[in-house]
């Protein structure tokens, strides 16, 4: 679908090596969507996460030990976003992943007219254009243990990185052609305004209120919702569900229903 980059021989060597058996429980226990993938997709994800994991610089903040559990969990969830893409290049705009043990405090600036106010702000994660992704491990674990509540820090921050691929965080990732761009713009702009209005009037929405911050956050929050609250999003926002399904390439609601009725896909 996207990112027609060559599959390097080094990547092939990584994929051809046996998948570590001790990692399988991490996939089945911490990555809910893994069980919704077909056998071929599971093989693809296992290969993708190893290539992704090997190609990133991993750093633990405040003395945090970045174990295989951390790397496999983060890598697998990130690669879920692109597992249905025909080819992709493993998030080249993510050189480094910094993991804090829990929420952290970061400097923040706000401008009011001619006045710049500096402060600190508690954060769970952040993504920078061509720079690092920063994540809180305790919040990742909470997301893994409370699936279906609509929040997933890794999906959120890596959705930002997909958004950055065209050079601007504007809520529109790289799309295939003009018709898909036009369709995306029409649906997302309307739904963003609906969410802004819902938040203003304290109305219920399956999409988290943080998505009303700006179009970039809207895309990231919608991505979380698409993966984590598929049924609610499909029922209440069918057009939004459709464009996200077309972009990510997997109908997660259909997969979930098939899994519930028939077991393994």
Tokens of 162: 């997909």
**The pair of three-digit structure tokens given for residue 69, joined into one six-digit string:** 């559990």
pLDDT in tens, 194-216: 999 999 999 999 999 999 999 99
In order of their start, the domains of the chain are: 9-262 (3.40.390.10)
Specify the residue for token string 């089945």.
Answer: 28
Q: Which residues pair with 126 in a beta bridge?
A: 134
Cβ-count burial 146-155 (b if 16+ within 10 Å, e if not): ebeebbbbbb
Residues 246 and 162: their CA atoms lie apart, in Å, by 15
Q: pLDDT at residue 20 above 80?
A: yes
| Distance between CA atoms of residues 252 and 212, nearest Å | 24
Contact call for residues 185 and 175 (beta carbons, < 8 A): no
Question: Would you place residue 10 in the very low, low, confident or very high pLDDT band (cuts 50, 70, 90)?
Answer: confident
The two three-digit tokens of residue 40, written as one number:
């071929």
Q: Would you state the pLDDT for residue 87?
A: 75
| 229 exposure class (CB count in 10 Å sphere: 0-12, 13-18, 19+) | buried
Annotate 51-84 with b (16+ C-beta within 10 A) or e (fewer): bbbebbeeebeeebebeebbbbbbbbbbbbbbbb
pLDDT of residue 229: 95
Go through 158-196 and write b for each residue having 16 or more CB atoms within 10 A of its CB, e for each that does not: bbbbbbbbeeebebbbebeeeeeeebbeebbeebbebbb
Q: Is it the case that residue 2 has pLDDT exceeding 50?
A: no
**Band of the pLDDT at 235, cuts 50, 70, 90?**
very high
* Residue 161: predicted pLDDT: 97
Q: Which residues contact 121 (CB under 8 A, 6 or more apart)?
A: 105, 106, 107, 108
Q: Which of 9-13, 19-23, 158-162, 198-202 has the lowest mean pLDDT?
A: 9-13
CA distance to 53, 186, 216, per residue, from 189 (Å): 35, 6, 11
Residue 94, SS3?
Answer: coil
């Amino acid at each position: 679908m996207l990112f027609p980059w060559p599959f390097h021989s080094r990547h092939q060597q990584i994929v051809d090596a046996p998948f570590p058996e001790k990692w399988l429980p991490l996939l089945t226990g911490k990555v809910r969507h893994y069980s919704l993938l077909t056998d071929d997709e599971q093989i693809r994800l296992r290969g993708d996460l190893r290539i992704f994991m090997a190609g990133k610089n991993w750093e633990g903040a405040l003395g945090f030990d970045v174990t295989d559990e951390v790397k496999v969990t983060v890598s697998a969830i990130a690669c879920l976003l692109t597992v249905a893409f025909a080819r992709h290049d493993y998030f080249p705009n993510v050189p480094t992943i910094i993991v804090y043990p829990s929420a952290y405090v970061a400097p923040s600036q706000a401008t009011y007219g001619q006045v710049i106010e500096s402060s600190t702000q508690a954060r769970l994660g952040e993504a920078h254009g061509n720079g690092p992704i920063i994540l809180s491990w305790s919040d990742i674990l909470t997301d893994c243990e409370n699936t279906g509540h609509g929040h997933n820090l890794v999906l959120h921050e890596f959705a930002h990185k997909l958004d950055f691929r065209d050079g601007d965080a504007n809520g529109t990732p790289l799309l295939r052609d003009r018709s898909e761009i036009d369709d995306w713009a029409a649906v997302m702009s309307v739904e963003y305004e609906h969410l802004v209005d819902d938040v203003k009037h304290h109305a219920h929405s399956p999409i988290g209120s943080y998505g009303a911050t700006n179009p970039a956050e809207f895309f990231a929050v919608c991505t979380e919702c698409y993966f984590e609250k598929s049924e609610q999003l499909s029922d209440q926002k069918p057009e939004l569900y459709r464009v996200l399904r077309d972009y990510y390439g997997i109908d997660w609601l259909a997969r979930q229903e098939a899994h519930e009725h028939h077991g393994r896909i």
